[in-house]
Structure 1
Amino acid sequence: MLLRNCWYVAAWSSEVTSDAGGGLLARTIVNLPVVLWRDAAGSVIAFEDRCCHRGAPLSRGRKEGDRLRCMYHGLLFDRDGRCIEIPSQDRVPPQARVRRFPVVERHNWIWLWPGNPALADESLIPDTHWLDDPGWRSLQGYTHYRTNYLLICDNLLDLAHLPYVHPTTLGGDEAYSRFPPKVERLERGVRITRWATGIKPAGFAQAIMNWPGNVDRWNIYDFLVPGIFLMDSGMQPAGTGAQAGHRLDAAEFRGCQALTPETEDSTHYFFAHPHNFALDRPEVTEAIHANVVKAFEEDSAMIHAQDAMLKLDPGFRMVPIAADAALTQYRRLVAKLAAAEAAAAAAAPAAAPAAAG
């Protein structure tokens, strides 16, 4: 159930350098080997990481300005993926080319479309401007999972786990999980709104803000296909009007996270947790990032343990509870889109002869 016709985060911009002597990043995305590199102007190019000649990885190749040379037999490809030189012969066959993927670099993320390029609508890329907005600060994060991405989606779609999995990091008061979220359907995802009022602050925020008492906490986020998590979250002293829109003495964050399936059983996870306070204190940004990294390690341990249990009994049926509403709706949406892609792929061969005629 790996979708192709959507934008995936392929890398942080900083991962793809302009280094003339290297600068080739190999990454597998939805079972497709990809090599990312920059041309002479600094624009990101994404090729299938497989030379059309003998299938050697182009990520072991060499950049030559706007061109990429395979270092197995020397075939040279232009920035469109067309082979323009074969050292052992004068004629280059017209079919000698490699696939080039649509890419967009925006707000420090490099987005890649692995499906039908004719459907690559850039307006579907969500807004993540907090990643490079001067009014916000964060550090870049990446982790790798050896599980299917949908288990990670489940985790993010039900934050009732926060006080249990993350009691000393992002979690805090177990009373948080007793406040039910509001779940709304979106065209390409779901929106979850949870307010927990009059609870103890999470330790990571209390260490920075030093509030004298309880807080009102909010987590308002969109979870969008194919696995993009964009959250407005924070907390401030209880009863000071946060829920009415008055944010005073608040710790505010804009979580930006992206799940990119590597294969059916492995996932790339890109994340940052921008904040808009204490911008002149880098140690605060570092402390927030360290807590997020620790919390994600806690998530990883739980999800990998869950994955191991599920693999012991493929027939195991999960018992749904009310807190599963968002993840149930999201999984249904993914299944619907996957079925539509499969139907379109099945119809394509039959349609080809008619189009040719």
Structure 2
Amino acid sequence: MFIKNTWYVAAWDKEVGTDGLFARTIIGVPVLMYRKQDGEIVALEDRCCHRGAPLSVGRREGDCVRCLYHGLKFDATGQCVEAPAQPRIPPQARVRTFPVVQRHRWIWIWMGDQDQADPALIADTPWLDDPGWRSEDGYIHYDVNYLLICDNLLDFSHLPFVHPTTLGGGADYAASQPKVERLDNGVRITRWALDTDPPPFATAVKDWGGKVDRWNIYNFTVPAILLMDSGMAPTGQGAQQGEREGAIEFRGCQAITPETEHSTHYFFAHPHNFAIDQPQVTRSIHQAVVDAFEEDREIITAQHRSLSLAPDFKMVAFGIDAALNQFRWIVARRLEQEAAATRAVIPVVAVQTPAAPAVRV
């Protein structure tokens, strides 16, 4: 089960070009995206209403798309506007459409009730296209349920163990206790590690000459969006009090979008505001993040295989699970609310029991 009334990241803007068709499955629904001639993005259910063939193997005809099974043509509203085999087109011959918004290089899609699709609810990620920040686009496909990835991102104590040569840093980082705060739609996590060794990716871009004070402060919100203020500064210079002179700063942007119950799209970028005129620095940072996220995928995929062999396995809770437990509770609550709203709009039909036939005595 997935939350429907929320904005999911569907693609990077460059993935949906000015020509052709782009297909991606979102929360179990096949979606076709393309750009109209004016650049506006269209999102249709990638399934012809006639026989269910995917429209993504069809062809563009202006702002329309033609199914190449029986030739039905659909406009950007999802309405069938041409059926070669018959002159009259049934009014119900249409495919579902989805609200989409392109903002700061991410394409967002709303899979639920279109009347609730308020663009103001989209998480703000200005660093992705701000000229004062630099990053490269990242995407990873996982063959696991998206909540296992959320668990990983909600507990950074794994960094020294899963990422010792990339993002990890010293083992003391795992011992630093984060502050976890409840938000209306997620959690906020604040973690400081003072007087600690800089991680390898940071030593590759700056000579620290000693230890650092390191921070990771981020919101993790429904459906699974991580927006993070992170960085490090020479130790003892007051970074924790807001003094960031000599620091390096990042604004991590990560979006986890379920594909199916057992597969996930992972979009990410790690914008930085230093050395922005040195593309090799941006490449170095991006590659370190890619390498680290591949390390995450290896351990999470192994975890998935292990858990799939024991469906009744009960995890033992530790204190470090506070954030992920709260987030899973929020997801469960949203699912319950949507289910209740669906039940409330289903009309109750009174069933009349026919009278029993007369019995002759």
TM-score range, shorter chain: over 0.9
- From 21, 27, 31, give the equivalent of 2:28: 31
Partner of 1:284 in structure 2? 281
Distance (whole Å) between structure 2 residues aligned to residue 163 and residue 218 of structure 1: 15
Aligned pairs for 1:256-335 (under 5 A) are: 256-335=253-332
- From 330, 333, 339, give the equivalent of 1:342: 339
Q: CA deviation at 1:77?
A: 1.1
**CA distances 1:230-271 after superposition (whole Å, capped 9, x unpaired):** 000000100111111111111110000000000011000000
Q: CA deviation at 1:351?
A: 6.7
Aligned pairs for 1:36-51 (under 5 A) are: 36-51=33-48
Q: 1:32 to 1:297 in 2, by over 3 A?
A: same
Q: Secondary structure at the match of 1:209?
A: coil
Partner of 1:59 in structure 2? 56
**CA distances 1:294-348 after superposition (whole Å, capped 9, x unpaired):** 0001000000111111111111111111111100100000000011111222232
Partner of 1:255 in structure 2? 252
Partner of 1:226 in structure 2? 223
Structure ranking higher in helix proportion: 1
Structure 1 residue 14 corresponds to structure 2 residue 14:
yes
Distance (whole Å) between structure 1 residues aligned to residue 31 and residue 340 of structure 2: 25
Greater Rg over alpha carbons, structure: 2
Distance (whole Å) between structure 1 residues aligned to residue 349 and residue 59 of structure 2: 37
Distance (whole Å) between structure 2 residues aligned to residue 269 and residue 7 of structure 1: 15
Partner of 1:209 in structure 2? 206
Q: CA deviation at 1:352?
A: 9.6
Partner of 2:83 in structure 1? 86
**CA distances 1:104-148 after superposition (whole Å, capped 9, x unpaired):** 000000000111111111111010111101010000000011100
- From 156, 164, 169, give the equivalent of 2:166: 169
Distance (whole Å) between structure 1 residues aligned to residue 96 and residue 332 of structure 2: 27
Partner of 2:3 in structure 1? 3
Q: Secondary structure at the match of 1:208?
A: coil
Divergent runs of 4+, >6 A: none
For 2:14, the aligned partner's letter is S
Aligned pairs for 1:89-104 (under 5 A) are: 89-104=86-101
Distance (whole Å) between structure 2 residues aligned to residue 65 and residue 351 of structure 1: 45
Q: CA deviation at 1:164?
A: 0.7
Q: Secondary structure at the match of 2:205?
A: helix
Percent of paired sites with the same residue: 62
TM-score using structure 2 length: 0.95
**CA distances 1:216-235 after superposition (whole Å, capped 9, x unpaired):** 00000000100001000000
Q: Secondary structure at the match of 2:131?
A: coil
Distance (whole Å) between structure 2 residues aligned to residue 83 and residue 312 of structure 1: 46
**CA distances 1:161-191 after superposition (whole Å, capped 9, x unpaired):** 1111001101111111111000011111100
Partner of 1:127 in structure 2? 124
Q: CA deviation at 1:64?
A: 1.6
Distance (whole Å) between structure 1 residues aligned to residue 223 and residue 48 of structure 2: 28
Q: Secondary structure at the match of 2:151?
A: helix
Q: 1:351 to 1:227 in 2, by over 3 A?
A: farther
Distance (whole Å) between structure 1 residues aligned to residue 68 and residue 246 of structure 2: 58
Q: Secondary structure at the match of 1:136?
A: coil
Give the superposed CA RMSD: 1.1
Distance (whole Å) between structure 1 residues aligned to residue 67 and residue 308 of structure 2: 40
**CA distances 1:27-82 after superposition (whole Å, capped 9, x unpaired):** 11101010010011011100000001111101011112221111111111111111
Partner of 2:357 in structure 1? none
The size of the alignment, in residue pairs, is 350
Distance (whole Å) between structure 1 residues aligned to residue 61 and residue 146 of structure 2: 36
Q: Secondary structure at the match of 1:260?
A: strand
Structure 1 residue 137 corresponds to structure 2 residue 134:
yes
Distance (whole Å) between structure 2 residues aligned to residue 144 and residue 72 of structure 1: 30
For 1:82, the aligned partner's letter is Q
Distance (whole Å) between structure 1 residues aligned to residue 329 and residue 76 of structure 2: 39
Aligned pairs for 1:66-85 (under 5 A) are: 66-85=63-82
Distance (whole Å) between structure 1 residues aligned to residue 204 and residue 348 of structure 2: 62
Distance (whole Å) between structure 2 residues aligned to residue 351 and residue 15 of structure 1: 45
